[in-house]
A and B are shown apart, each in its own frame.
Chain A
Amino acid sequence: MYGKGMRPLAIGTFFVLTGAFALVFFWVPADADQGFIQKIFYLHVPMAIVALGGFIAGGVMAICHLRTGNSKWDLRSYVSIHMALVLAVGALITGSIWARAAWGHWWVWDEPTLVSFLIVFLLYATYQPLRFAIEDPEKQARYASVFAITAGAFVPLNFLAVRMAESLAHPRVLGATGGAMPSEMRITFYVSLIGMALLFITLWKYEMASKHTTAQLRILRRRLLGDDGVAPTGRSAAPSTVLPARPKP
């Protein structure tokens, strides 16, 4: 049951994330170099880190799927990767806004995080078309899991490689600060990061609860109307939410 524990989680998310943004705008001092623009850092970097965490979590869940053969892990992996992809798009957009404000261009190749993100985004954008292109649901789930594991392993490697490629030639464009980070900035950053992570988990649970509910409704419909009352699912990229029928009591 995914709804369990939802209330304390959601309340926690609210307090931490709102608290984080309050710290950003009312407490933490402005950066000496970049000025007010630097405040984007507290939004962009947590989004990026949590997105990456979501991708890697999707890979771990995919490993569980392949090891247990239980399709619920495939559903969890799918939802995790989907939400991470949305966060990744958000990270790219906020990163681009930051680049424009700090450097004058909408895109900078010198910022390794942004470039790595673009590559990761391009890879995971293939996840949905790949799923859609395989019709058999069991095979779809299996191949998607292989992809999720490969892509999840790729994420850290990609970051290392891109960072190595850029580090010698150019200094970091969108560094957090000119020099070392003072403690108020560090605290605000960590609160923001925790808030973003809590938000991700809350929304993931929310999505899983929604999918679970729809699946249960389908079973209920079948019990009340028999097999004819239930429309066939048709082709989809989402994991099959048609759970196996419960044995009769």
Chain B
Amino acid sequence: MPALPLDEAGKYVAAAYLVFLALILIYVAIMAVKLGRIEKELVELNELADRAEESK
């Protein structure tokens, strides 16, 4: 098949690279949610440790 004209070809190449970008960004989003949860739990545990220290 002869090479596609540049404007048509550009769309396919862009689509392929966008798929790659999308995969990475989805992963970033998942890790961001996980980090939020870790932060929340760590703050909670720190408060617990503070309370345990105070009551001693």
Complex A–B touching at CB under 8 A: yes
| A residues in contact (CB < 8 Å) with B | 21, 33-37, 39-40, 43-44, 47, 86-87, 89-90, 93-94, 97-98, 100-104, 203, 206-207, 210, 213-214, 217, 220-221, 224-225
Task: Pick the residue among B1, B23, B34 that contacts A103 (CB under 8 A).
Answer: B1
Within 8 A of A (CB), among B36-52: 38, 41-42, 45, 48-49, 52
The SS class assigned to the A binding surface is helix
Interface status of B25 (Cβ within 8 A of chain A): no
Q: Are A100 and B12 in contact (CB under 8 A)?
A: yes
Question: A39 CB to closest chain B CB, in angstroms?
Answer: 5
Question: B1 CB to closest chain A CB, in angstroms?
Answer: 6
Q: Are B12 and A101 in contact (CB under 8 A)?
A: yes
Interface status of B4 (Cβ within 8 A of chain A): yes
Q: Are A90 and B20 in contact (CB under 8 A)?
A: yes
Q: Are B48 and A214 in contact (CB under 8 A)?
A: no
Q: Which A-chain residue is minimally distant from B35 (CB atoms)?
A: A210
Q: A217-B38, A224-B48 are in contact. Are A35 and B16 (CB under 8 A)?
A: no
Q: Are A37 and B38 in contact (CB under 8 A)?
A: no
Q: Are B52 and A97 in contact (CB under 8 A)?
A: no
Q: Are A217 and B42 in contact (CB under 8 A)?
A: yes
Within 8 A of A (CB), among B7-39: 9-10, 12-13, 15-17, 19-20, 23, 27, 31, 34-35, 38
